[in-house]
Amino acid sequence: MAELLFWPALLAYGEACVAYAGNMWRPGTLGRLATWGVRVGWLVQTGLLGLQATRADGFPWDTWADSLNLFVWLVVGIYLVWGCRARYGLLGLAVMPLAVVLLLVAWAGGGTEAGGPSRYSDLFLVLHVGSVLVAFAAFTVAAALAALYLWQERRLKDGSAGSVLRLRAPSLGALDKLSARTIALAFPALTIGIATGLARLASHGGDFDATVVATLVAWVVYATFMVVRYGAGWRGRRAAYLVLLGFALVLLVRLGLPLTHA
Amino acid sequence: MRLVLVGISHHRAPLEVRERLFVDAAGARELAVELAQAGEEAVCLSTCNRTELYLACDHAPAAEERAVASLVALGELTETELTPLLARLSDGAAALHLFRVAAGLDSMVPGEGEILGQVRTAFEGGRPGPLLDRVFRQALHAGKKVRAQTAIAESPASVPSAAATLAQQVFDDLRGKRVLLVGAGRIAELTARNMVDRGAMLSFVANRTLEPAHQLAHRFGGRALGLEEIETELPKADVVVASTGAPGVVLTADQVERATKARRGNPLFLIDLAVPRDLDPRIGELEGCYLYNLDDLETVVSETLAHRRGEAARAEAIVAEEAARFRDWQASLDVVPAILSLRARAEEIRAGELQKVQSSLGRLSDSERRAVESVTSQIVNKLLHLPTIRMKEAAAAPDGVLYADTVRHLFGLAEDGAHTDRLARE
């Protein structure tokens, strides 16, 4: 049953990637097809996660591959908030291929199967993992927005007005604002995730491993972003670089260090 | 019912004639009311490029004459002067013309954006009936469809709109953005106006001589400055539009760099419309500064026009499809009386036959009587369904009206919808 939901979701996300790419050359129908691909894929993946939730004994996404499946769903869900607008098609071109690749990795690691016992039955642990995953998914989308900002800024700087207007990307102002808002919403989730994790660490005993340290450094980077963006009014290229730096740490934590974290 | 169009446009009528025949929205409404008094439907579409009267009537030549007389009176011209400039179209050709107008295909600049709103205003202010209501609604639909399915209206087609569109690529929303004009020339004013129309504020006008700066600033609610004050006010501006006649650079990169330090990464958008250039080209290299010159914008405009001409072929296909739909609909109107009289005749026979067996039906309960009524009605409807569909389909063909005549003949129906006495007696 899980397989019956996984493949259609992957297919829909894949269709969205192809349609977004085609939409760059001929905007219009392909963009709408891409958006529908994202919507349908996300709904089917929701069904898959629902199935996993009903069949699991406890928190169903406790392995690295399981949580990657949930992470992809969160990333696509956050993208969907404004991804239906035609002008954010280019953002879809950044987010959806990443979603396809990560979903395939999750599948290869057995993260899209249903059933089995869960290691997570502790509420604190569920809150810790859930909050961190939500924050990381939002930071991923924010990084895509920041990357799009830097690309659009380069185009505007190059002075090729014709190409800027031929291939319309979201404006610098919109990208900067959305990226900052996404981080502002995700930052409290990361804080809660870290706080619950540290509380559990204190109660159960244990040491700071590399993942904990990298997550704390990421928190410092995003906290700095919040201060300079909302406190000092900084925006533009430097703010975008800071977002990408934070995302590099998120990637490190998400992909590079899971084996070190119990 | 016929559709008639009489009007002038930029294709044939010179500016001085278009000026004389131009009416504002209130004037267009009055004209439509006046023409509708003759029992016709009327809509007047008047823009800077055209004044067109759309009428729906039973007798086209008389309606045309009334429309011409109205235009002659409006422009205080003689009929001899006006006639060679007039466009006269009817039915399908008039509808196709209106659809092309709404789609921006008949505009001076293909895909021009304002015309769709102007068509809507004319329609809302007019006196439409069934035919004009249908043709104008379809025109608005065609205009929207062309804009949605082609890229004909996507890019800016003038230097001021190109500048404003680029500014929106930086700021997204121009509302509240402060514009500094350097130079008080016509092109700078047009550019500023375009941005103000999109929500920006003209905050400063800097000029070598203060009097023109005062006049322009007064019109937009801004403040006049001398050129030496630019650097002081620059940190407060989001957009700079320069177009002085100065022989050299008016604003250097060093001046802009000093001013942008306080902006904390907030972008500064600069447009240099002057030749020779007013703004140091090195400004474009500064962080957060986006500089475009006249050549950049003119390239955008020429690319846009070429692109729009390319998209026009796709737009024409959409408009032709809509016009064909309208022609089919209008043709179907010719068979409606025949269909109505056929149905009336059938209903009369059904009711008559039921009446004949009234005494036998007297024994039936109310529910049984209703069942008999229902069954006989269904039989009649099912029998007439296919002929009705076929007549409507055939109406679009050149000889479609023959079908209606044949049905009238076969069923003994009169032209006015009543059946003949002979058939009634049988």
- The pairs formed by B64-71 with CB atoms below 8 angstroms and a separation of 24 or more are B64/B4, B64/B6, B64/B88, B66/B35, B66/B38, B67/B4, B67/B6, B67/B35, B68/B6, B70/B31, B70/B34, B70/B35, B71/B6, B71/B7, B71/B8, B71/B21
Q: How far apart are CA A140 and CA A146, in angstroms?
A: 10
DSSP class of residue A86?
G
pLDDT score of A260: 59
| Residue ranges of chain A whose pLDDT lies below 70 | 1-2, 27, 57-59, 115-122, 159, 256-262
Residue A171: helix, strand or coil by DSSP? coil
- List C-alpha distances in Å: B323 to B94, B97, B309, B353: 9, 9, 21, 45
pLDDT of the residue at B426: 37
Which of B148, B266, B299 comes nearest A235 by C-beta? B266
Nearest chain B residue (CA) to A228: B264
Number of A–B residue contacts, CB under 8 Å: 77
pTM, two decimals, is: 0.67
Nearest CA of chain B to the CA of A18: how many Å? 20
What confidence score (pLDDT) does residue B424 get?
Answer: 35
Q: Are A236 and B288 inside 8 Å of each other by CB?
A: yes
Closest CA to B36 of B59, B61, B65, B63: B63
The span from the CA of A244 to the CA of A147, in Å, is 7
Q: Which of A48, A110, A140, A105 is nearest to A40 (CA)?
A: A48
**Residue A171 contacts B where some CB pair is shorter than 8 Å:** yes
Q: From the list B154, B172, B300, which residue is nearest A171 (CB)?
A: B172
**Distance separating alpha carbons of residues A95 and B371, to the nearest angstrom:** 63
Using the structure block, give the residue that is written with the tokens 């730096």: A245
Tell me the helix, strand and coil percentages in chain B, rounded to 5: 60, 15, 25
Instruction: Return the residue of B nearest to A237 by Cα.
Output: B265
CB atoms B155 and A239 under 8 Å: no
Whether B289 is catalytic: no
Helix ranges (DSSP H) in A26-118: 29-55, 64-83, 89-108
Count CB atoms within 10 A of the CB of residue A82. Answer: 16
State whether A162 and B300 contact (CB < 8 Å): yes
| Residue B133 Cα, gap to closest chain A Cα (Å) | 30
Catalytic residue among B44, B48, B57, B289: B48
pLDDT at B419: 44
Name the residue among B166, B172, B303 with its Cβ closest to that of A173. Answer: B172
Q: Which residues of B touch A156 (CB under 8 A)?
A: 166, 169-170, 290
Report yes or no: A159 at the B interface, CB cutoff 8 Å.
yes
Among B45, B81, B46, B86, which Cα is nearest to B65's? B86
Q: What is the predicted pLDDT for the residue at A12?
A: 94
Residues of chain A with Cβ-Cβ distance to B171 below 8 Å are: 171-173
Q: Tell me if chain B has a CB within 8 Å of the CB of A172.
A: yes
CB B87 within 8 A of CB B46: no
Cα B220 versus chain centre, distance: 29
Contacts of A239 in chain B (CB under 8 A): 265
CB contact under 8 A, A236 and B265: yes
Q: What Å distances lie between residue A55 and A47, A61, A67, B413, B417, CA to CA? A: 12, 11, 16, 73, 71
Paired with B9 in beta bridges are B50
**Across the 426 residues of chain B, what is the mean pLDDT of every consecutive 10-residue run?**
92 90 92 86 92 91 92 91 93 94 88 87 93 94 90 79 89 91 85 89 91 89 90 92 89 90 84 90 91 88 82 91 89 79 89 84 82 91 88 74 79 59 38
Which of A161, A170, A238 lies closest to B265 in CB terms?
Answer: A238
Per-residue pLDDT at B415: 58
